Amino acid sequence: MAEIIFKNKIVKLVRASLKNVGVSRSSLNLASIISDLKEMTILDIGCGIGYMSIGALLSGAKKVVATDICNVEKQLRDNLKLNNIKQNKLTFYRSYLFDNIPSNLKFDVIIANLPQHALPANIKAKRLKGKYGGYDGTDLVSRCLTEAFSYLKPDGRYFGSISKLTNYKRTLGIAKSLYEIKLKKVVQKNIDLKEMLPYVSEEDFLNHLERLKRNRLINFSVNGKNIPIKYQVNYCQFNKKALID
């Protein structure tokens, strides 16, 4: 069992550690910007074993709907019990983003910590679940931001991140058309080219990133061929706009 901080709450997770079960540094950074969850209805996209979902419930959320592409419901239920949370406080859907979420559901808050690595668009790269974000890194986050809009209540909030190791201008353009954006936290990150092995070689990964950079689609710094690559991630609160036709 691991005990991991969500804001000022301690989340207990069975068989969890920062190294091997779904609680990444990115999740911790995103959790640090989330606020005002008391009596809110929450949607946790890509819930894993429940760090965000349980953290939200411990922080006073009224109800959580948790989704994941994998069938993690048993782990979620085990971790609810471990944290003394009633089982009826959470509903789980096995879903790729919003595909299986009933369209009549509306939420005060949506939390989405999504893969954003820009990788070659081939079968091998797509096997990197938890990392593959599309050719320019924006596939999942851009789709999630657009579809989230119809699931948010008026004045609803979406918490997520935008990586500058992606075509972030595309993501920002989409987001600005639907939300007021509040930048809450900036984190400098490193990525090691070996992270994508064995599906994408170091050479192919670097060549792909340099191709995107030459075309001004992404932004990163690196000293010659040395690694790690350095880049920036912006953690943001997206406030739903009232659209005028």
Query: What sign does the dihedral 150-96-190-15 (CA atoms) show?
Result: positive
**Domain 2-240 is found in CATH 3.30.2140.20:** no
Neighbour-count burial of 85, counting CB atoms closer than 10 A to its CB (0-12 exposed, 13-18 middle, 19+ buried): middle
Q: How far is CA 240 from CA 14, 53, 86, 138, in A?
A: 35, 21, 30, 20
Q: Mapping DSSP to helix (H, G, I), strand (E, B) and coil, where does residue 223 land?
A: coil
Burial degree of 215 (CB within 10 A; 0-12, 13-18, 19+): exposed
Residue 27 pLDDT > 90, yes or no? yes
| pLDDT tens-digit series, residues 28-78 | 999 999 999 999 999 999 999 999 999 999 999 999 999 999 999 999 999
| Rounded mean pLDDT, 107-128 | 93
As a whole number of angstroms, the distance between CA 23 and CA 41 comes to 22
CA distance 11 to 161: 22
The residue among 41, 45, 47 whose CA lies nearest residue 13 is 47
- pLDDT score for 155: 95
pLDDT tens for 182-232 read 999 999 998 878 889 889 998 999 899 999 999 999 988 776 555 678 899
Does residue 16 have a pLDDT over 70? no
Percentage of the chain surpassing pLDDT 70? 94
**pTM exceeding 0.85:** yes
Task: Tell me how far apart the alpha carbons of residues 117 and 204 are, in angstroms, rounded to a whole number.
Answer: 14
List the Cα angle 82/84/85 in 5-degree steps.
Answer: 110
